[in-house]
Amino acid sequence: MEAVRASAAWVASRSSHVKVDMLEIEKAVDKIQGNVPKIEWDFEGIHYFDNGPLTVQYLFVLDALNFCFWPDKDLTYDNLASGLKLALEKDKTALDADRLKNYTGPQLRELLNWPRPLPIEEERVRLLHEVGLELERSFGGSAANLVKSAGNSAASLIELITRHFPGFRDHSLYKGHQVFLYKRAQIFVADLWGAFKGKNFGEFYDIHSITIFADYIVPAVLRELGILKYESNLCCSIDSNSEIVPGSEEEVEIRACSVHAVEKMRELINKKFGKQVGASESFLSFLNDHI
């Protein structure tokens, strides 16, 4: 995803609230010696998997909803994943396009077996409607058809997703420049690749083209490693659990610098150890284990 890499590098070169420490990147790379083991997808046992199109539908809906769990301290990604899994095990039509486009907030809560309103519930319902309507209109109601349309290219699939589903576009404006991060679209590709073990719906000849996912976990790990350095006011905001306003300079810098830092780590691992490393959750999970 060259647009993501280029815009992340552009932000990192102009960032005033967040800095990427190249010396700490070199220390981290030397510490792991390029040894990043493969971590199997779904080791928690929380995902639905039937090795077919319904798994693709499940992952697409899951990744459409995979954002903003704050301020509900009990709600996590695991609740979304396992809730949708149980819903499908009870009713294989629960995520059909014609049902997605009609769900209400209370029905979504019931689907997830969640006892109270979800954070940004109206937006989550809107995204379900968007997914259902566009899958029905352009892909015969099936996320599997969307994946097939990409011709086994991760980059093409991300382009299709962001063209047809505005909720996945993940753009920001930073100092008059458009920044592309495409977090959830890239997570969907990585989920397919991991779930299907690089075969069938998860076969992508350019899987290494995707970047790390600019979420809230990645910068926390990179900050702990000393790779990301924050200016004092931003440190205080984060350490006091204050909200970083979406689309603010601080938020864009944190996310873009995270992507840029991991890209620099990948480049250095390749240069020093001759290994090509995928920018996936497994990479950051492994780094997290070495803090």
The catalytic residue among 30, 215, 239, 289 is 215
CA 69, 214, 285, 227 torsion: positive or negative? Answer: negative
* Structure-block tokens of residue 274: 């001759």
What residues have CB less than 8 Å from 166, skipping those under 6 apart?
130
Q: Can 50 be counted among the known catalytic residues?
A: no
Q: Tell how many helices (H) and how many strands (E) occur in the chain.
A: 14, 4
Name the 3-class secondary structure at 226. coil
The two beta strands, 171-174 and 18-20, are unpaired
Task: Judge whether 41 and 195 are in contact, CB under 8 Å.
Answer: yes
What residues have CB less than 8 Å from 230, skipping those under 6 apart?
17, 18, 223, 238, 254
**Total Cβ atoms within 10 A of residue 2:** 10
Enumerate the active-site residues. 215
